[in-house]
């Protein structure tokens, strides 16, 4: 029987790592955004797990802000993706090759 | 404490962050003015007034405010004075087609985010502030709305998103380790240390420290030059100030290890930035990578607590040099095209003064007399040597040597601009630069030299509360 | 009982996460993400963060997923109409992730976290509300401003992308 | 007063030279006038130095005092130098009458006289070295006087370089001498303590002396120096500069340890012998005299080091006059021939002959000087030479080793050879009939040509030095030179006798060989392999070269028949190898030193490009690198904590 | 007046440069005259300095400076880092006096030599005067920071003067020059910082250590803070070497690159060859002296113990430079390159003189610097004369010039022979003194073995060899020049050139004949210097 805290942390870590993996291996920008969301959620799970034992529930507060921020980030991402799509006709990250390297 | 009392207290505290408040209100008014289709010139004037106002109304207080979520000290006072002025410098850039009131609004919001970054004493506020600067920056990066711009914005966004997620994960661990989001409760534990490093990676992303600097060249290349000048100064300096605060509260906990790590990263940044800049032909990319090296120089200063004055000096000079350099670059740009080094060849014959100015900023960025850049590096090395002396740590010595060698190597690329300016013969190039910009360039260059001759004037700029 | 739910949601997260990694279809991915987020909501409830759970459902379900779905439309499709996206960098990806997992295990999960238990407090919404207006009033203002910035910026950017 | 007198003597020649340069039209006359004053003053000055030193001290560097000092020996030599210089000036007016660069010539000549006088006057080693170098410098300038011909320039350069090698070794010796606690005043030099460093100092000083006096391993520069104008050869390369080495040996006598002196004596006699042998095989008129000078200088060096330094100095004096006389005679002959046949001026004795009738004064002067040189009684050379020979004999008698007698015996033998080659020269040049194309008789009216030759010839008579030709009282000059009382012993007379006999034999032999065929072409001249060998200076140069490249020796021998021009392979070889070495270092500099820097530069640049390229296109590689960085940091953290 | 004399000397050219700002680019003659006037005023002031100089001032190195000016320049508080004090501190002693005079003189001559310049005259002279200010500033600064400032300030004008008015490969040469010397000066910078933090006095009122850049404090071991990194008792090491030794080596290297010593010399030939004549003159006559002066004033004075320890190796570097520079000079076919290498060779004597730790040696080194200042200036001007007329300076392109250009050849003879060390001319005295020092020392306490001196003498021989060879190839023999078009241009020296050469040759001859004229004023300072440096010398 696992300690619930540890279990929560493991779930958080899993989400985080899954997010990293997706962020790296997927070619599509939207997938990468999904990965980022997963990473954020991993962190959020951690917050919630730790916040459970915190009478000040700061973790939960943080979580709320994070969710809002994630939404905001998606908006920004969408705006930029629209631009990308207009110029490149795709969201495939590999086709972004206009900049020098 | 009763809620009422708390609210009254908070109400009183709003006076302390008056410059941020002025900026927020000002930027919203700016937005409204923009919607009302006020000409862009007046929008700029208004923005300048707001910035000046925030500069003038910066409060020199010290302590914690807003139930300890906001800290005010020498550093935040310095930043509330410095960063608006730097933004003011960015406003002086040449008029371009992509500029609109949204552009200035976003600039202001980045500034606001940076100021909150500096002032935060709470991880939540800090995270919010960082995200504010980041989102506005992502948007600013793409302001050319062309292929390059969008690509740069996209890359910046994705990288920034990943970093902020990593950082958030770190914050969560920190929170778990200390049951608090306040800086001052940080204490040593393995969990805390781990969290700290996840967390730092986010700040390192903002301050472009190796290995979180990779976004820099691409973003700087694609973004509008005035935005680049802004990114390389305001959010970066804000990030360093935040780092300064973070380290201030974590110092002593992980001291030996943290010190080594920071120095190592600093050295890596210096080396990487210098080496990568060596063969660049795009001036903006070159400057951006040089800025990575400069980040490596500033980083130890944030870490070492007794070097506030040197940090201050370095940061001011750094801002000045970068604004000057990027302004110079922007003035030479052809519409919508990045400035290549070969684009300036042979201009020195017709524009000797501009050539001299390019010498000034190049020399300042290298760190040679008679410019403030030298003094900055000089103070930095002095401090580093003092630490080496007192700790007998090979890391400090290595840092000094890396710094010195990189200065020598950086000469090679920084000086290429004046070199092409004067030594390459090409009569075909033409540029148009208005008198106003000439004046601004000269003024900035002169200030850089003045800061060498009389660095004392810093004492009067953002004086310390407890000297 | 609560442990069963814990494991259940954990399993859901695990399955949806792993499937997310391997799916190539963006539509599936969106639904899997939704599943994952909903499982997380369950988790939040278990860990006594019901307010956050509500927020999560509201914002993610109502906001993020729609945004993603919107994004899907911009993506190139295969002739069969499927939204297929490829992957690459498998080696690096798995290597890094593996390293990350091991490290997090070594540094976080295995590190001694003091004896904690989950407090079953009530009236969280009130508490949160008070904190929004006192302790984190600045954060509250700030995020409001941030949303404004994002709104202005994104709309301008979108406008530009249509007109230019 | 006396100090000023010295200053006048020293500076007047220089002033004369400058004045001559300033007024080019009358340059010769002006310079000669100045020199005549100098000579008179030098003569007058003898009054003041009776038995004591006149010292003029001055601080040249802070705490570093130097002095000029004149004692009897140097005062006499000063007189000699100024007198000969005056005569040479006079002769030059005649000799260079057609040259366009007379003004330069007199400047150089004046400067040389100044340096030489300074050398004789200086009392401090460093001061002496300064003038020593100036003498070498002005000699170089005079050798390259006809610089338009690059051969002369090369000869001058090689002569100067050879000198400079020796000079710098001397310089090292002087510095070590000073470093060993000596204060460097010639007048207060004392014997050195016996140790390794004193030997080293001795050897260094010795090499300097050998170099300047054209002694054994260094003598090759002197024949080269003959490319200068003949009056210059007379002044510098016969009478004065080459004597400087002997003079220095005289001054430093006390420094050398006896063991070293024996070696010097041997070197001297070897030089004398070799020089005489080579002279015997020369065909060039000036070369004969040059090698003869070498031989006579070897004599002097030998005399110095066997202890007969008074006699050696005396020989220095007498030799200066008769050799200068001989050179001026040669100059007169050559000038005459070159006027006759400007297209092909020759110095080859084989193409002369019968000039007695054309140049009577020259002939008679030549005869007198020659007699002095070979050492016949009633002539000055006899007195000094016999003195040296007797000194050598008495030195050998004090040795237990019988081998020591080889020295004086060789000296006797040399007088035979000397007589032979001088006789040969006389016969080939003046007697018989002219062997070239026809020669016009031209009257020699210029007294400015004849007077110097005559004066020198007259001064070669023994009567001025010793009343009785075969011994007896010291004359005034010998007194001034500080000559010791004569060697006594019953062996003196036979030796003198045999010496005279050998001289006569030598003259007779030369007559037997050349006089009989007088009118005819000199066909058999130098036909034998041996004489070619000797003529080419025993292939000494080639021997040197053989040290470096043995195979070259053989080649040189083969080619020497074709290449009759005397080359100087040893120093050439050193020069060439230095040049080669310098090429090597230049390559090293460019490839290695500069290359290393370029290498560093390219390495940095390659690194730079690598780092530049490390910004991958794929944004996801950015994530990878950043996260890998984080992972590394965390791993480190894990193990550090 | 006299209390500001040094400031006047330093800033006069800069004032001139500012005056030039008011000139139009086209008023070339006015610009030249202004430059000449200001440099002449500077020369006058420095002659006045000699006039008022007391040669026997002070009885210790630290008190032997005259005309001292000391004003606080920067005094800024850096919080807990302490306060940061930089003084405007000038002073002159016998060592620097003549270098100042030399620089003012060469500056004047350089202006004269650039009289024919046509393009961008104003910028040229402004940079030129700035260069002059910084060089003289280096010689007079007694504050390390001030010194470093001037030292670095030399770089920029030089960089542009080479790069803008130079030959075909000027940009390469200027970059090379800049990077080499910058590396050197960065080493100096690090050591300077370390010294600053190691030297201080206790402020009685605040009980805080006041660090300072005062060179005099740095020379005095009493001012070193106990336990600081560069104190005598410092235990810090770097790669197994005591930090003091490392600092010494770094500082030495920094200045030696400027001198230059052999493996770091390759910037010099390139810079010389590409630079215009007056700039070459400044480079050889003054810039190299900065390195030598730095060795005297800073490296040896501050680290006498380490210097003593490394003296032998320093002398070996000197010998290496002499031989190597000489050999390289021999093979060059570019006259200017040859002379550049000969400079390297001659500067080797300075190192030997320093390494000998004797009064003779040190005085010889100093004298060599002054003499070389005159000689090398003349040498480069000689090249300039030829280059002016033909735009060519390859040795093999000329022959028998003595026939056509007698005056020029006369000058060449004197200068070449002065350079190869003919007694009676300036080059000899320095070499004599240095060798005396070297041989003396070997006899007295075995600091330097004899072979150093012997090899140095061989170096003299090599010098003679290449000069004579050059004379033979270029000036003797039949008159011939490669290009027919040069024929009409081959004219003898004009009045302006005669003026320059006469001054220089006068200096060369006077210094050679009567070296006491400067050695007298120098000697006291050299003695104090040796007493200061050598007082650690412990005889076994």
User: Which distant-in-sequence residues (6+ apart) come within 8 Å of D529 by Cβ?
Assistant: none
The per-residue pLDDT for range E173-204, each reduced to its tens digit, is 888 888 888 888 888 988 998 888 888 887 77
Longest CA–CA span in chain A (Å) reads: 54
By residue range, what is the domain housing residue C8?
Answer: 2-77+86-133
Query: Long-range CB contacts (< 8 A, 24+ apart) of D391-396?
Result: D391/D303, D391/D306, D391/D307, D391/D308, D391/D311, D391/D312, D391/D487, D392/D265, D392/D302, D392/D303, D392/D306, D392/D308, D393/D487, D393/D491, D393/D495, D394/D487, D394/D489, D395/D265, D395/D306, D395/D307, D395/D308, D396/D306
- Which stretches within B251-307 are classed as H helix? 255-278, 283-303
pLDDT at C76: 64
Distance CA D365, CA D370 (A): 8
CB of E182 within 8 Å of a chain D CB? The answer is no
**Cβ atoms of residues A84 and B154 within 8 Å:** yes
How many other C-beta atoms are found inside a 10 Å radius of the C-beta of residue B392?
14
Distance CA B83, CA B318 (A): 12
pLDDT at E538: 42
User: Strand E237-238 to strand E208-211: parallel, antiparallel, or no bridges (unpaired)?
Assistant: unpaired
The answer, yes or no, to whether the previous bond of D522 is cis (omega within 30 of 0) is no
Residue in C with minimal Cα distance to B140? C153
pLDDT at D485: 56
Q: Which residues of B87-122 are buried (b: 16+ CB within 10 A; e: fewer)?
A: bbbbbbbbebebbebbbbbbbbbbbbbbbbbbbbbb
Distance CA D88, CA B449 (A): 72
Q: Are residues C94 and C144 in the same domain?
A: no
Contact flag D612-B193 (C-beta cutoff 8 Å): no
Please state the rounded mean pLDDT for residues B39-62: 91
Residue length of chain B? 467
E351 is written with which tokens?
A: 């190192």
Distance CA E103, CA E133 (A): 10
pLDDT at D562: 28
Continuous segment of H or E residues that includes residue D66: strand D64-70
The per-residue pLDDT for range D201-243, each reduced to its tens digit, is 888 888 888 888 888 777 778 877 888 888 888 888 877 888 8
By residue range, what is the domain housing residue B315?
Answer: 280-287+307-467
Distance CA E67, CA E5 (A): 7
Distance CA D481, CA D242 (A): 19
Contact flag D624-C106 (C-beta cutoff 8 Å): no
Tokens 């900023």 found at: B361
Continuous segment of H or E residues that includes residue D68: strand D64-70
Chain A residue numbers touching B128 (CB-CB < 8 A):
65, 69
Of B7, B124, B189, the CB nearest to C134: B7
Tokens 């992502």 found at: B138
The per-residue pLDDT for range B245-297, each reduced to its tens digit, is 888 887 655 667 778 888 899 999 999 899 888 888 889 989 999 999 999 99
**Cβ atoms of residues A5 and C116 within 8 Å:** yes
ipTM for this model: 0.85
Reduce the DSSP state of residue E399 to 3 states and report it. strand
Options 3.40.50.1820, 3.40.1710.10, 1.10.287.3510, 1.20.58.220; CATH of A28-88: 1.10.287.3510
Chain D residue numbers touching C107 (CB-CB < 8 A):
634, 637-638
Reduce the DSSP state of residue D98 to 3 states and report it. coil
Name the packing angle between helices D72-95 and D309-340 (round to 10°): 0
> Domain tally for chain B?
1
Residue in D with minimal Cα distance to E459? D168
Q: Which of B220, B218, B340, B327 is nearest to B282 (CA)?
A: B340
Residue E485 C-alpha, separation from nearest chain B C-alpha, in angstroms: 28
CB of B427 within 8 Å of a chain A CB? The answer is no
CB of B463 within 8 Å of a chain C CB? The answer is no
pLDDT at D480: 62
User: With touching defined as 3+ CB pairs under 8 A, do chains C and E touch?
Assistant: no
Q: How many CA atoms lie within 13 A of A11 on its CB side?
A: 34
User: D: neighbours with 3+ CB pairs under 8 Å?
Assistant: A, B, C, E
Mutate which of B4, B118, B124 to test chain C, going by most C C-beta atoms within 10 A? B124
Q: Are residues C99 and C120 in the same domain?
A: yes
How many other C-beta atoms are found inside a 10 Å radius of the C-beta of residue E491?
11
pLDDT at B43: 92
> Domain tally for chain E?
1
Q: Are residues C126 and C93 in the same domain?
A: yes
Contact flag C88-D624 (C-beta cutoff 8 Å): no
The per-residue pLDDT for range B170-180, each reduced to its tens digit, is 999 989 888 88
Chain D residue numbers touching A20 (CB-CB < 8 A):
623, 627
Put simply, the chain E residues between 489 and 528 with a CB less than 8 A from any chain D CB are 514-516, 519-520, 523
Chain E residue numbers touching D164 (CB-CB < 8 A):
461, 464
End-to-end CA distance of chain C: 59
Distance CA B268, CA B270 (A): 5
User: Which distant-in-sequence residues (6+ apart) come within 8 Å of D424 by Cβ?
Assistant: D280, D510, D513, D514
Contact flag E77-B306 (C-beta cutoff 8 Å): no
Mutate which of D617, D621, D623 to test chain A, going by most A C-beta atoms within 10 A? D617
Residue B116 C-alpha, separation from nearest chain C C-alpha, in angstroms: 9
Q: Are residues C112 and C71 in the same domain?
A: yes
Distance CA E153, CA E162 (A): 15
Whether the per-residue pLDDT at E139 is higher than 60: the answer is: yes
Give Cα separations from E195 to B390, D631, E143, E215, E397 (angstroms).
14, 40, 12, 10, 53
Give Cα separations from D49 to B29, C65, D5, E419 (angstroms).
112, 123, 12, 39
Contact flag E327-D597 (C-beta cutoff 8 Å): no
**What is the torsion angle, in degrees rounded to the nearest 10, for the CA atoms of residue D218, residue D224, residue D229 and residue D232?**
0
Q: Which of E103, E10, E96 is nearest to E61 (CA)?
A: E96
Please state the rounded mean pLDDT for residues E303-308: 86
Please give the share of chain C, as a percent, with pLDDT higher than 90: 18
pLDDT band at C11 (very low <50, low <70, confident <90, very high): very high
Q: Write the DSSP string, E433-447.
A: HHHHHHHHHHHHT-S
Q: Which of D169, D172, D263 is nearest to D207 (CA)?
A: D169
pLDDT at D1: 59
Continuous segment of H or E residues that includes residue D524: none
Of E74, E187, E236, the CB nearest to B392: E236
What is the residue extent of each domain of chain A?
28-88
Longest CA–CA span in chain E (Å) reads: 81
The per-residue pLDDT for range D564-621, each reduced to its tens digit, is 333 345 556 666 777 777 777 777 777 777 777 777 777 877 877 777 666 666 788 8
Please give the share of chain D, as a percent, with pLDDT higher than 70: 82
pLDDT at D225: 82
pLDDT at E491: 85
pLDDT at D150: 81
Residue B279 C-alpha, separation from nearest chain D C-alpha, in angstroms: 6
Reduce the DSSP state of residue A92 to 3 states and report it. strand
Put simply, the chain D residues between 13 and 42 with a CB less than 8 A from any chain B CB are none
Whether the per-residue pLDDT at D332 is higher than 70: the answer is: yes
Q: Which of E472, E408, E329, E410 is nearest to D161 (CA)?
A: E472
Distance CA D91, CA D447 (A): 9
A-C CB pairs within 8 A amount to 224
Please state the rounded mean pLDDT for residues D299-323: 84
Contact flag D619-A23 (C-beta cutoff 8 Å): no
**Radius of gyration over every alpha carbon of chain D, rounded to an integer in angstroms:** 30
Distance CA D139, CA D133 (A): 10
Distance CA D348, CA D526 (A): 13
Residue E362 C-alpha, separation from nearest chain D C-alpha, in angstroms: 13
Total-model pTM: 0.88
Contact flag E457-D593 (C-beta cutoff 8 Å): no
C91: exposed, middle or buried (Cβ count in 10 Å: 0-12, 13-18, 19+): exposed
Is B226 inside any structural domain?
no
CA dihedral sign of residues E236, E187, B268, D610: negative
By residue range, what is the domain housing residue E103?
Answer: 5-538
- Plot region of E421 (φ>0 → left; ψ -120 to 50 → alpha; else → beta): left
Reduce the DSSP state of residue E92 to 3 states and report it. strand
> Domain tally for chain C?
2
Contact flag C145-B112 (C-beta cutoff 8 Å): yes
Tokens 């070097």 found at: B307
User: Which distant-in-sequence residues (6+ apart) come within 8 Å of D107 by Cβ?
Assistant: D17, D18, D20, D21
Chain D residue numbers touching E458 (CB-CB < 8 A):
168
Reduce the DSSP state of residue D65 to 3 states and report it. strand
* Average per-residue pLDDT for chain B: 88
**Cβ atoms of residues D172 and D204 within 8 Å:** yes
pLDDT at D543: 47
Distance CA A62, CA C136 (A): 10
B50 is written with which tokens?
A: 């707001």
Contact flag D624-C100 (C-beta cutoff 8 Å): no
Chain C residue numbers touching A94 (CB-CB < 8 A):
88
Please state the rounded mean pLDDT for residues D397-422: 81
Distance CA B251, CA B180 (A): 18
Of B198, B211, B276, the CB nearest to D629: B211
End-to-end CA distance of chain D: 95
Q: What angle do CA D298, D304, D308 make, to 5 degrees?
A: 125
């Amino acid at each position: 029987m696992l300690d619930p805290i540890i279990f929560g942390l493991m779930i958080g870590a899993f989400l985080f790592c899954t997010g990293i993996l997706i962020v790296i291996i997927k070619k599509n920008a939207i997938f990468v955004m999904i990965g980022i969301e997963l990473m954020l959620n991993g962190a959020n799970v951690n917050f919630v797990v730790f916040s459970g034992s915190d009478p000040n529930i700061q973790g939960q507060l943080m979580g709320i802000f994070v969710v809002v921020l994630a939404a905001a980030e998606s908006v920004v991402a969408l705006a930029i993706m629209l631009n990308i799509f207009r110029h490149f006709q795709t969201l495939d990250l590999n086709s972004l090759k206009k900049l020098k390297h | 404490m009763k809620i009422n009392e708390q609210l009254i207290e908070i109400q009183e505290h709003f006076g302390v962050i008056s410059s941020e408040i002025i900026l927020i209100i000002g930027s919203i008014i700016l937005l409204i003015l923009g919607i009302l289709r006020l000409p862009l010139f007046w929008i700029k004037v208004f923005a300048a007034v707001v910035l000046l106002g925030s500069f003038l109304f910066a409060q020199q207080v010290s302590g914690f405010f807003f139930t300890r979520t906001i800290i005010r000290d020498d550093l935040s006072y310095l930043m509330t004075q410095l960063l608006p002025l730097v933004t003011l410098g960015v406003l002086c850039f040449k008029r371009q087609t992509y500029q609109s009131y949204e552009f200035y609004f976003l600039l202001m919001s980045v500034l606001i985010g940076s100021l909150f970054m500096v002032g935060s004493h709470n991880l939540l506020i800090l995270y919010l502030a960082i995200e504010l600067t980041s989102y506005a920056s992502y948007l600013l990066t793409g302001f050319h709305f062309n292929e390059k711009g969008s690509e740069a914005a996209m890359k910046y966004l994705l990288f920034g998103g990943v970093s902020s997620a990593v950082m958030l994960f770190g914050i969560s661990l920190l929170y778990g380790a200390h049951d608090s989001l306040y800086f001052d409760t940080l204490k040593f534990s393995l969990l805390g240390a781990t969290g700290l490093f996840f967390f730092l990676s986010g700040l390192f992303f903002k301050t472009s420290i190796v290995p979180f600097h990779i976004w820099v060249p691409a973003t700087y290349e694609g973004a509008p030059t005035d935005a680049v000048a802004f990114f390389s100064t305001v959010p970066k300096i804000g990030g360093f100030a935040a780092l300064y605060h973070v380290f201030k509260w974590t110092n002593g906990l992980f001291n030996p290890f943290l010190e080594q790590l920071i120095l190592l990263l600093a050295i890596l940044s210096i080396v990487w930035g210098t080496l990568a800049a060596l063969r660049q032909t795009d001036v903006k990319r070159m400057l951006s990578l040089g800025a990575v090296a400069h980040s490596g120089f500033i980083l130890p200063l944030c870490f070492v607590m007794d070097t506030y004055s040197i940090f201050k000096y370095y940061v001011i000079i750094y801002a000045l040099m970068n604004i000057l350099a990027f302004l110079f670059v922007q003035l030479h740009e052809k519409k919508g095209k990045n400035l290549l080094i070969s684009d300036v060849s042979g201009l020195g014959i017709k524009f000797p003064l501009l050539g001299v100015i390019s010498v000034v900023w190049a020399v300042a960025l290298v760190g040679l007399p008679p410019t403030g850049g030298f003094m900055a590096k000089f103070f930095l090395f002095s401090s580093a040597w003092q630490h080496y002396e007192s700790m007998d740590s090979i890391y400090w010595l290595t840092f000094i040597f890396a710094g010195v060698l990189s200065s020598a190597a950086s000469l090679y690329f920084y000086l290429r601009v004046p070199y092409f300016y004067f030594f390459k013969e090409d009569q075909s190039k033409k540029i148009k630069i208005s008198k106003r910009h000439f004046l601004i360039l000269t003024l900035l260059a002169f200030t850089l030299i003045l800061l060498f001759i009389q660095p004392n004037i810093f004492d009067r700029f953002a004086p310390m509360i407890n000297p | 009982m609560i442990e069963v739910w814990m494991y259940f949601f954990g399993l859901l997260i695990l399955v949806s996460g792993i499937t997310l990694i391997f799916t190539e279809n963006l539509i599936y991915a969106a639904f899997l993400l939704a599943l994952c987020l909903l499982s997380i909501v369950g988790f939040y409830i278990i860990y006594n963060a019901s307010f956050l759970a509500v927020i999560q459902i509201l914002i993610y379900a109502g906001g993020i997923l729609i945004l993603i779905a919107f994004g899907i439309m911009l993506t190139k499709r295969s002739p069969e109409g499927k939204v297929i996206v490829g992957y690459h960098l498998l080696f690096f990806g798995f290597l890094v992730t593996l390293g990350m997992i091991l490290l997090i295990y070594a540094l976080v999960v295995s590190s001694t976290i003091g004896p904690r238990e989950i407090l079953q407090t009530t009236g969280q919404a009130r508490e949160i509300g008070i904190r929004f207006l006192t302790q984190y009033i600045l954060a509250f203002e700030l995020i409001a401003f941030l949303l404004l910035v994002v709104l202005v910026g994104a709309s301008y950017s979108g406008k530009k992308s249509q007109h230019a | 007063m006396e100090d000023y007198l010295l200053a006048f003597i020293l500076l007047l020649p220089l002033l004369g030279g400058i004045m001559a340069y300033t007024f080019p039209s009358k340059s010769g006359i002006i310079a000669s006038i100045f020199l005549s004053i100098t000579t008179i003053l030098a003569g007058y000055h003898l009054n003041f130095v009776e038995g004591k030193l006149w010292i003029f001290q001055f601080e040249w560097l802070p705490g570093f005092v130097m002095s000029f000092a004149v004692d009897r020996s140097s005062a006499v030599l000063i007189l000699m130098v100024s007198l000969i210089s005056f005569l040479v000036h006079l002769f030059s007016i005649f000799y260079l009458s057609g040259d366009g660069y007379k003004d330069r010539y007199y400047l150089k000549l004046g400067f040389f006289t100044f340096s030489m006088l300074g050398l004789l006057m200086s009392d401090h080693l460093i001061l002496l070295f300064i003038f020593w170098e100036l003498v070498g410098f002005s000699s170089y300038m005079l050798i390259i006087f006809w610089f338009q011909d690059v051969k002369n320039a090369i000869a001058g350069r090689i002569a100067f370089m050879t000198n400079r090698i020796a000079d710098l070794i001397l310089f090292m010796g002087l510095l070590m001498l000073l470093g060993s606690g000596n204060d460097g005043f010639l007048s207060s030099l004392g014997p050195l303590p016996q140790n390794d460093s004193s030997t080293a100092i001795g050897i260094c000083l010795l090499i300097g002396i050998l170099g300047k006096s054209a002694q054994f391993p260094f003598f090759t520069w002197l024949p080269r120096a003959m490319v200068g104008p003949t009056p210059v050869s007379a002044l510098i390369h016969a009478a004065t500069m080459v004597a400087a080495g002997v003079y220095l040996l005289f001054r430093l006598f006390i420094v050398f340890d006896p063991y070293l002196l024996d070696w010097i004596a041997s070197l001297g006699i070897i030089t004398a012998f070799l020089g005489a042998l080579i002279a015997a095989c020369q065909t060039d008129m000036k070369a004969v005299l040059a090698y003869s000078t070498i031989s006579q200088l070897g004599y002097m060096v030998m005399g110095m080091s066997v202890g007969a330094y008074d006699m050696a100095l005396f020989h220095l004096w007498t030799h200066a006059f008769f050799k200068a006389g001989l050179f001026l005679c040669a100059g007169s002959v050559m000038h005459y021939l070159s006027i006759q046949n400007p297209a092909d001026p020759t110095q080859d004795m084989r193409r002369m002959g019968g000039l007695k009738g054309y140049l009577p004064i020259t002939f008679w002067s030549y005869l007198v000087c020659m007699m002095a040189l070979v050492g016949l009684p009633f002539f000055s050379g006899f007195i000094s030479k016999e003195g040296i020979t007797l000194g050598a004999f008495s030195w050998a008698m004090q040795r237990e080793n019988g081998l020591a007698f080889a020295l004086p015996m060789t000296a006797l033998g040399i007088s035979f050879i000397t007589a032979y080659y001088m006789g040969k020269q006389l016969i080939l040049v003046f007697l018989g009939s002219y062997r070239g194309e026809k020669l016009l008789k031209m009257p020699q009216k210029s007294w400015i040509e004849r007077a110097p030759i005559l004066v020198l010839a007259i001064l070669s008579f023994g009567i001025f030095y010793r009343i009785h030709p075969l011994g007896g009282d010291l004359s005034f000059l010998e007194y001034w030179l500080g000559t010791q009382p004569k060697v006594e012993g019953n062996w003196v007379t036979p030796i003198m006798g045999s010496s005279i006999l050998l001289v006569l034999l030598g003259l007779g032999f030369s007559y037997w060989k050349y006089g009989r065929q007088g009118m005819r072409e000199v066909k058999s001249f130098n036909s034998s392999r041996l004489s070619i060998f000797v003529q080419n200076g025993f292939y000494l140069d080639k021997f040197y070269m053989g040290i470096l490249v043995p195979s070259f020796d053989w080649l040189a021998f083969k080619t020497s028949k074709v290449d009759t021009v005397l080359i100087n392979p040893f120093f050439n070889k050193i020069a060439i190898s230095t040049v080669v070495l310098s090429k090597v270092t230049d390559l090293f500099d460019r490839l290695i030193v500069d290359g290393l820097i370029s290498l560093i530069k390219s390495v940095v640049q390659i690194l730079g490009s690598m780092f530049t390229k490390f910004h991958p296109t794929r944004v996801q590689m950015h994530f990878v690198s950043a996260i890998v960085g984080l992972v590394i940091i965390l791993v480190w953290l894990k193990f550090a904590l | 007046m006299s209390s500001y004399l040094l400031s006047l000397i330093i800033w006069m050219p800069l004032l001139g440069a500012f005056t030039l700002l008011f000139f139009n680019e086209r008023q070339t003659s006015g610009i030249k005259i202004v430059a000449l006037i200001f440099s002449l005023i500077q020369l006058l002031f420095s002659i006045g300095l000699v006039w008022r100089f007391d040669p026997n001032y002070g009885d210790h190195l630290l008190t032997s400076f005259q005309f001292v000016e000391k004003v606080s320049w920067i005094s800024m508080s850096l919080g807990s880092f302490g306060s940061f004090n930089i003084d405007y501190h000038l002073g002159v002693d016998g060592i620097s006096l003549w270098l100042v005079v030399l620089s003012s003189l060469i500056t004047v001559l350089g202006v004269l030599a650039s009289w024919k310049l046509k393009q961008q005259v104003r910028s040229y002279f402004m940079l030129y005067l700035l260069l002059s200010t910084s060089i003289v500033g280096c010689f007079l600064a007694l504050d390390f920071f001030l010194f470093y400032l001037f030292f670095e300030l030399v770089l920029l004008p030089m960089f542009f003067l080479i790069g803008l008015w130079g030959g075909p490969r000027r940009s390469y040469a200027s970059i090379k020059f800049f990077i080499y010397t910058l590396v050197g000066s960065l080493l100096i910078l690090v050591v300077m910082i370390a010294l600053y933090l190691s030297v201080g006095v206790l402020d009685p009122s605040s009980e805080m250590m006041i660090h300072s850049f005062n060179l005099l404090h740095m020379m005095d071991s009493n001012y070193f803070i106990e336990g600081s990194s560069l104190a005598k008792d410092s235990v810090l090491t770097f790669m197994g070497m005591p930090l003091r030794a490392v600092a010494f080596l770094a500082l030495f290297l920094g200045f030696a690159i400027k001198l230059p010593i052999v493996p770091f010399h390759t910037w010099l030939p390139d810079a010389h060859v590409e630079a215009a004549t007056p700039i070459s003159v400044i480079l050889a006559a003054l810039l190299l002296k900065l390195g030598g002066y730095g060795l005297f004033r800073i490296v040896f004075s501050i680290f006498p113990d380490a210097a003593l320890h490394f003296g032998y190796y320093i002398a070996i570097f000197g010998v290496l430079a002499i031989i190597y520079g000489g050999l390289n000079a021999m093979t060059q076919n570019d006259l200017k390159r040859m002379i550049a290498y000969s400079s390297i060779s001659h500067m080797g004597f300075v190192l030997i003189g320093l390494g000998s730790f004797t009064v003779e040696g040190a005085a010889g080194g100093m004298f060599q610097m002054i003499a070389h200042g005159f000689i090398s200036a003349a040498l480069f001007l000689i090249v300039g004369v030829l280059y002016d007329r033909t735009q060519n300076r390859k040795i093999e392109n000329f022959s028998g010039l003595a026939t056509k250009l007698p005056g020029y050849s006369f000058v060449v003879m004197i200068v070449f022979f002065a350079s190869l060390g003919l007694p009676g001319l300036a080059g000899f005295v320095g070499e004599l003194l240095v060798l005396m020092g070297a041989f003396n020392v070997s006899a007295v306490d075995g600091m330097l073995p004899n072979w150093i001196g012997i090899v140095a003498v061989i170096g003299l021989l090599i010098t003679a060899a290449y000069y004579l060879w050059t004379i033979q190839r270029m000036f003797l023999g039949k008159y011939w020049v490669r290009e027919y078009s040069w024929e009409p241009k081959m004219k003898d020296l004009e009045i302006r050139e005669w003026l320059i050469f006469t001054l220089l040759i006068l200096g060369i001859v006077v210094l050679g004949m009567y070296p006491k004229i400067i050695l007298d004023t120098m000697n006291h300072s050299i003695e104090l210097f040796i007493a200061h440096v050598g007082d650690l010398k412990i005889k076994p």
